[in-house]
Structure 1
Amino acid sequence: MRPALPAPALYIHVPFCRRKCCYCDFASRPPAPAAVEAYLAALKREAETALASWPNSWEVPSIYIGGGTPTVLAPAELEAVLAVAARFPRTRGAEWTVEANPGTVDAAKLRLLKAAGVNRLSLGVQSFDDALLKFIGRSHTAREACAAWELARAAGFDNLSLDLIYAIPGQTMAGWRATLRQALALAPEHVSAYSLTIEPGTEFGRRAAAGTLAPVSDELDLALYLEAQERLGAAGLGQYEISNFARPGRESRHNLVYWRNEPYLGLGPAAASYLDGVRRTNLSAVTAYHAAVMAGVPPVAEREEATFELARAETVILGLRLVEGVSWERFRQRFGVDLRALYAGPIARLTAAGLLIADERGLRLTPRALPVANQVFLEFLP
């Protein structure tokens, strides 16, 4: 029998953006009226289906509305998405995040979000270098990013997260430092800093395949990462995950659900769920998603039931992304086995190599292992 898990977090995917960024491989498209109408109808129906079997005791600990760009929707459309989210019982003080992009928010939309109960915004700034923003296909400028930030503060949001991308081809250390300085000048509660990954099927992927775009060197990638670690940490944003930094108590509670391998329900095209040990990913095309939901068919594109062995490995790998690591006691309570005994070989090898720390609390990466974490994770794959 599987050990009982807590109520799931809730994720809602909004599959619309003004345009596709050059690096983006997420499910998104421009918000044509017919597509938005179909999406909203299916989202409401999918939520109703989930709520029909929702246990009375379940209260979601967090809500995250992402995309895509949720704030690209018109106010009435955005309000409809918020209304779907609001139907799910949530814990007192639950974190409710909405992703937003500069240029798609104004004072009226921000008031709408605030009135609905949204208490955290994640702003997709990516860079404060206008040339790099244009290069990666973003539709805003650095000035527009700062203006959107100030509008959010004026609307009363006191928990703002800022997304940054580094290792962009053509980026220099001096330029990255300038972006970090501007980011810190805004006094964010949270910063996510991700290394640019060139994915197949994206504009950058096509350019790379054609030989017209080369990624930055591994040495520069690492140097930019270490620079972010140092500057963000010195400014009071403690690193709590490989790519995430926060002021005390402002860590992303929703993302902690993912990293602790806890359950979550995903609604919308391409949304992923992890419930009762089963991972599901919804159909990504709005038309296919709409057709399935309205026909009363689960809109599932992929389904994988995690074996007990895989669930344990995933819990270790995801948990090691966190600076706090994996708790011996939490792992034992969840799986009924001692993590130290289960993975004695990998733990001994990686500890001897200076990549893991095993102490009285649990298992975690050493600071020098954070940039090469994927090498560590391979040791725990079943």
Structure 2
Amino acid sequence: MIKAAYLHIPFCEHICYYCDFNKVYLQGQPVDDYIQAIEQEMKLTLREFPSDKLETIFVGGGTPTSLNEQQLDRFCEGINKNLPKAADVEFTFEANPGDLSKEKLQILKDAGVNRISLGVQTFNDHLLTKIGRAHRAKDVYQTVDNIKSIGFDNISIDLIYSLPTQTLKDFEESLNEAFSLDLPHYSAYSLIIEPKTVFYNLLRKGKLPTPGEDIEARMYEVLMEKMESRGLHQYEISNFSKYGYESRHNLVYWNNESYYGFGAGAHSYVNGIRRSNIGPLKKYIDCINNEELPIRENHQVTPSEQMEEEMFLGLRKTAGVSISKFNEKFNRDPLELFSNEINELASKKWIEVNDDNIYLTKQGRLLGNEVFQMFLGVID
């Protein structure tokens, strides 16, 4: 059963120095043709892989709200016309502070969008400049006010820590500013420097002064402490919320469930096959115009890979992996299947096992990637 859909808008008015997502500068791009193509992809996909009701829809990018009012209205209309939605669907749009007018917000509200995710990253204006962001801290406050005034109450913001030249004090100040907004959901990620980004090129030249692993680890500890003290529970390594405001869409990924991916460069997981779409816009649009699904690569996930993914994706959640659900899904006991790995990690106090869950300890969350790698390529 397919529960979720992700739609990708690759257009940006500014390119951030750390971003490696499929994106292009907005100016001069065939935006209207792209909107038509992604609507056609929805039709082609649902014809081949139907679904009764989607529980979550997430529009990301790029910058989805870089579309003008008419384009945004048309895009939302295409979603509502082609994707079957559950009555209580979680419908999220990503946006940047400063480019989300009340007119655009009203279009989203009228289209049934009920969750907004803002890419804030930091409240330090100097750091915002250093990472290539166009907005400033004042834009965040104004944008959140606008979002609330239109009637949205499910609002999330993203933060990034371990930024170049960022100090622990800088990060704590950003957290305090974020808390002043009194939002129900916060995500915070450590900076990962990816190939083909501005930061990657600077790092190779020795011109990217990062805080270092020790400061990064301390930032993460402070993050967990401050979130807990504010009554925001950590339900995943990088995500914190008031109860009832967890991101249902992201939980689909971490629960290793099926989802559609629409748009240039989007990924999907349908009928046990992980697919990636064609990335370049012209090739994507041409493929759709030929009535073909724009698939760049297919990978049939083997039963062994499914079980390994169930472990390292599920361990991202603070609740961890349910032993009984794993048994029910695969007819295998994870405690037997991964006995060596679980015993080793438990001896290091990186994971714990209770009656029905295998989960990371607080120390284990600091070393999450090392834990996850233990479950790769284990099953013959």
Per the shorter chain, which TM-score range?
over 0.9
Q: C-alpha separation between the residues in 2 aligned to 1:203 and 1:263?
A: 33
1:154-206 deviations in Å (ceiling 9; x for gaps): 11111000100100011111111111011000011110001011111101111
Q: C-alpha separation between the residues in 2 aligned to 1:362 and 1:226?
A: 23
Select 2:75's aligned residue among 81, 99, 114.
81
Counterparts of residues 360-379 of structure 1 (less than 5 Å): 360-379=355-374
Counterpart of 2:56? 62
Q: C-alpha separation between the residues in 2 aligned to 1:23 and 1:53?
A: 36
Select 2:269's aligned residue among 250, 271, 274.
274
Q: Displacement, 1:217? A: 0.7
Counterpart of 1:293? 288
CA contact (8 A) 2:236 2:318 kept: yes
Q: C-alpha separation between the residues in 2 aligned to 1:112 and 1:174?
A: 39
Counterparts of residues 1-382 of structure 1 (less than 5 Å): 6-32=1-27, 34-55=29-50, 58-86=52-80, 87-382=82-377
Counterpart of 1:3? none
Q: Displacement, 1:33? A: 5.2
SS at match of 2:346: helix
1:109-152 deviations in Å (ceiling 9; x for gaps): 11111111001000111111000001100000000111001100
SS at match of 2:152: coil
CA contact (8 A) 1:63 1:85 kept: no
Which runs of no fewer than 5 residues in structure 1 stay unpaired? 1-5
SS at match of 1:323: coil
CA contact (8 A) 2:9 2:63 kept: yes
Q: C-alpha separation between the residues in 1 aligned to 2:325 and 2:72?
A: 38
Could you list the structure 1 runs, at least 4 aligned residues long, displaced by more than 4 angstroms after superposition.
none
Letter in structure 2 aligned against 1:357: E
SS at match of 1:380: coil
CA contact (8 A) 1:45 1:293 kept: yes
Q: C-alpha separation between the residues in 1 aligned to 2:182 and 2:215?
A: 26
Q: Displacement, 1:215? A: 2.5
SS at match of 1:92: strand
SS at match of 2:24: coil
CA contact (8 A) 1:328 1:339 kept: yes
Q: C-alpha separation between the residues in 2 aligned to 1:333 and 1:7?
A: 18
1:274-329 deviations in Å (ceiling 9; x for gaps): 01111011111111100111112221122211100001100110000000000011
Q: C-alpha separation between the residues in 1 aligned to 2:35 and 2:354?
A: 49
Which runs of no fewer than 5 residues in structure 2 stay unpaired? none
Letter in structure 2 aligned against 1:297: E
CA contact (8 A) 2:232 2:241 kept: yes
Letter in structure 2 aligned against 1:25: D
| TM-score relative to the length of structure 1 | 0.96
1:331-370 deviations in Å (ceiling 9; x for gaps): 1111111111111111111111111111112110111100
Deviates more, 1:371-380 or 1:245-254: 371-380
Overall identity of the aligned pairs, in % = 38
* Backbone CA RMSD of aligned residues: 1.1
CA contact (8 A) 1:16 1:72 kept: yes
Aligned length: 376
Q: Displacement, 1:54? A: 4.6
Q: C-alpha separation between the residues in 2 aligned to 1:60 and 1:282?
A: 20
Letter in structure 2 aligned against 1:157: F
Q: C-alpha separation between the residues in 2 aligned to 1:46 and 1:172?
A: 45
SS at match of 1:111: helix
Letter in structure 1 aligned against 2:246: E
CA contact (8 A) 1:236 1:247 kept: yes
Letter in structure 1 aligned against 2:92: T
Letter in structure 1 aligned against 2:361: T
